[in-house]
């Protein structure tokens, strides 16, 4: 079953990036994904044509590369981004902070992350509120301060 889903998603990419009827094909995600190679799970996770049901299922994969792919995907549901914002791996949080669909309240939370790279991506996110940028402009990291001050001046 999942093999045919992977083939369908790959076919979509090789063709004109659209399905004949414009719909994402239905798939049963009750299958166990453990038999897939990590490469296949990453490919599914980063593909914008992957059905949301599969993204949700893969978001709890033990491999951080799979969770990173999900965090980067522009079609990952907000609820999944909220959960991934608490991931133990800072690289996952880094890409959640970069995702344009990450809610403002999560960007606010990630602006306090202990990892500079995560905070930097919060500053780069176009949806980060001005008050968060002002706070980040006072960050202990000089690169962060410069980035936020520049963005504050040019976002008006």
- pLDDT reading at 152 higher than 70: no
Give me the residue spans of the domains in the chain. 1-86, 103-156
Look at 59 and 36; give whichever has higher pLDDT: 59
Distances (CA, A) of 71 to 5, 49, 77, 129, 130: 21, 15, 10, 20, 23
For 44-79, what is each residue's pLDDT tens digit? Answer: 999 999 999 999 999 998 889 999 999 999 999 999
For 81-104, what is each residue's pLDDT tens digit? Answer: 999 999 999 999 999 999 999 999
Which alpha helices (H) appear in the chain, and where do they start and end? Answer: 2-14, 38-46, 52-58, 64-72, 78-84, 90-98, 104-110, 116-124, 130-136, 142-154
Q: Average per-residue pLDDT in the chain?
A: 79
Q: Which pLDDT belongs to residue 108?
A: 96
DSSP 113: -
- pLDDT reading at 22 higher than 50: no
């Amino acid at each position: 079953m999942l093999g045919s889903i992977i083939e369908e998603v790959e076919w979509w990419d090789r063709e004109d990036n659209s399905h004949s009827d414009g719909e994402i094909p239905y798939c049963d995600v009750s299958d166990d994904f453990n038999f897939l190679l990590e490469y296949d799970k990453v490919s599914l996770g980063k593909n914008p044509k992957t059905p949301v049901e599969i993204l949700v299922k893969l978001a709890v994969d033990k491999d951080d590369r799979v969770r990173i792919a999900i965090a980067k995907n522009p079609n990952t549901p907000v609820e999944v981004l909220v959960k991934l914002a608490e991931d133990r791996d800072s690289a996952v949080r880094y890409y959640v902070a970069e995702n344009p669909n990450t809610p403002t309240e999560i960007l606010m939370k990630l602006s306090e992350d202990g990892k500079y790279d995560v905070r930097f991506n919060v500053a780069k996110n176009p949806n980060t509120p001005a008050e968060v940028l002002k706070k980040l402009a006072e960050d202990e990291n000089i690169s962060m301060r410069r980035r936020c001050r520049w963005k504050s001046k040019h976002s008006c």
